[in-house]
Amino acid sequence: MHKPTIDNFQTGLVWFRRDLRVQDQHALFLALKHCSQVYCVFVFDTDILDSLPKEDRRVEFIQESLVNLNEHLKAVAKSEDVSLITLHGSATQEIPRVAQLLGVQAVFTNHDDEPYALKRDALIRGKLAAQGASFFDFKDHVIFERSEVLTQTGKPYGVFTPYKNAWLKKVTDLDLQSFDIKPYKANFAALKPAHLKKLHPRIHTLEDIGFKTTNLKDLGVHTGIDGGEFLFKDFLKRMDLYHETRDFPAVKGPSYLGVHLRFGTVSIRSLARTALERTNAGSGGAAVWLSELIWRDFYAQILHHHPRVVTHAFKPEYDSIQWEDDKAAKKLFTAWCEGRTGFPIVDAAMRQINSSGYMHNRLRMIVASFLVKDLGIDWRWGEAYFAKHLMDFDLSSNNGGWQWASSSGCDAQPYFRIFNPTSQSERFDPKGAFIHRYIPELKGLSVPTLHTPWLAEPMELLSANLQLGKDYPLPIVDHAKAREKTLMRYSVIKTAKQK
């Protein structure tokens, strides 16, 4: 990959985005290495924030993580006068403004390959150039990006396993090496009194930017650099069993690092390095978790090479499918969103995301398959709902996951593979522990019946003080009939392929 030639500068500015940490932060490392004085900034970008609800867990996660980032900056610099600058406004206006105010010759940041970010960065690059300042951006969010892993014919991969094999063949210690800023920590710049008069005096609070607190603290979410480190250390104790525990939502199997990867409060290089070392030592759990990290890279390069997937199917013929889109479909969609489908595993999963902003990965596949292949609703509806509610929402991974579930994406499951929500429930929540956690109204049912309450005998319902259709909904769809309808719906693909 082409690496920009970086001159040495008197003053530089590091723009933090989805990389909210001090150690092993690529842009920060290079700025400190090439600049005598380095300022640090984060923008609460109104071009993004204005479309969000005023109670958004992600915004609160970011705000708390910025406070923690500022503490770490001061600790590394060993100076209370070094501080993270936070701005509130359009990044396209604020970055050129603060760059000019501070008199910097170069802005350093890390890549963000989402469509909005690419347009934003191109505009800012131009404005900075007009001011006589350079703009440098670097790879930091993934191990391999863009066109770094290609087929032997020089084309991007569209199937995961060959991509993974090529990834594993390509990766070296250098790709996973940490960027250590300690040798350059003296180059952090303290804000001058003249600057402070024109900048916000402290880290913006939620109230400062027009947002409200959520239930983040009640959920016990660990934020910031410290939170990411805590969760990673905790997962290290369980990593070797990941392949055995990861599919059971009632078990503490996942790493819970998704939101930290999303906002860069942990280093992907550090995680991948540990996973690869343990894999090479024979850990089956580490090998499976490493595959999950490689999936992130895979979906990121799909978005880079095929940006149309944001609005269209990766496989064009799948755009010929006619989805349900009438009042009845909207009513079914609302029931799905609110966890009122009558299928306990689906409803428990939706209640989990609604109450916490998190959903277990196995459940994401189950509810996605249910929406698309049981209810016949466009995968884009579900993708948008997840984008609004998931704390760890990442455009490339979310899009890739939904297109996988709908069979329209790269390396997706065949369209005739349709999850049975009941068998999925019985297999992955066998004792109903997860269902009990989110659907307490079913607590009186026996375990076998818990997965299919509509099949309960009248006496069991009476004993459980449960009235179906009132206390808990009856199924909104017949899975067997829905399966046949889905196979018919997807039959148009064969015709579309022949055209």
In the block, tokens 């290495």 appear at 33
CB 404 within 8 Å of CB 472: no
pLDDT at 272: 98
Q: What is the pLDDT of residues 100-152, one digit of tens each?
A: 999 999 999 999 999 999 999 999 999 999 999 999 999 999 999 999 999 99
Kindly compute the dihedral angle of the four CA atoms of residues 444, 447, 451, 453, in this order, to the nearest 10 degrees. Answer: -40
pLDDT at 195: 87
The residues, ordered by sequence, that sit 6+ positions from 430 with a Cβ below 8 Å of its Cβ are 447
Q: How far apart are CA 252 and CA 249, in angstroms?
A: 8
Residue 6 CB burial class (10 angstroms; 0-12, 13-18, ≥19): middle
- How many other β-carbons are positioned within 10 Å of the β-carbon of residue 332? 21
The conformation of residue 441, written as its DSSP 8-state character, comes to G
List the beta bridge partners of residue 87: 43
Rounded to the nearest 5°, which phi and psi values hold at 12? -130, 160
Residues taking part in catalysis: 292, 295, 323, 361, 379, 402
CB 46 within 8 Å of CB 90: yes
pLDDT at 482: 97
CA 217 vs CA 71, 261, 312, 391: distances in Å: 20, 20, 38, 14
pLDDT at 4: 67
pLDDT at 496: 62
Q: How far apart are CA 164 and CA 285, in angstroms?
A: 16
The conformation of residue 323, written as its DSSP 8-state character, comes to -
- How many other β-carbons are positioned within 10 Å of the β-carbon of residue 112? 18
Q: How far apart are CA 353 and CA 365, in angstroms?
A: 13
Q: Whole-prediction pTM value?
A: 0.96
Q: How far apart are CA 235 and CA 410, in angstroms?
A: 30
Question: Buried b / exposed e across 45-81, counting CB within 10 Å, b at 16+?
Answer: bbeebeeeeeebbbbbbbbbbbbbbbbbbbebbeeee
Q: How far apart are CA 425 and CA 343, in angstroms?
A: 9
Could you tell me the two tokens for 408? 């329209």
Q: What is the pLDDT of residues 403-437, one digit of tens each?
A: 999 999 987 778 888 999 999 999 999 999 999 99
Residue 451 CB burial class (10 angstroms; 0-12, 13-18, ≥19): buried
- CATH number for the region 316-498 comes to 1.10.579.10
pLDDT (tens place) for every residue of the chain, 499 residues total: 456 689 999 999 999 999 999 999 999 999 999 999 999 999 999 999 999 999 999 999 999 999 999 999 999 999 999 999 999 999 999 999 999 999 999 999 999 999 999 999 999 999 999 999 999 999 999 999 999 999 999 999 999 999 999 999 999 999 999 999 999 999 999 998 888 889 998 999 999 999 999 999 999 999 999 999 999 999 999 999 999 999 999 999 999 999 999 999 999 999 999 999 999 999 999 999 999 999 999 999 999 999 999 999 999 999 999 999 999 999 999 999 999 999 999 999 999 999 999 999 999 999 999 999 999 999 999 999 999 999 999 999 999 999 999 999 987 778 888 999 999 999 999 999 999 999 999 999 999 999 999 999 999 999 999 999 999 999 999 999 999 999 999 999 876 665 5
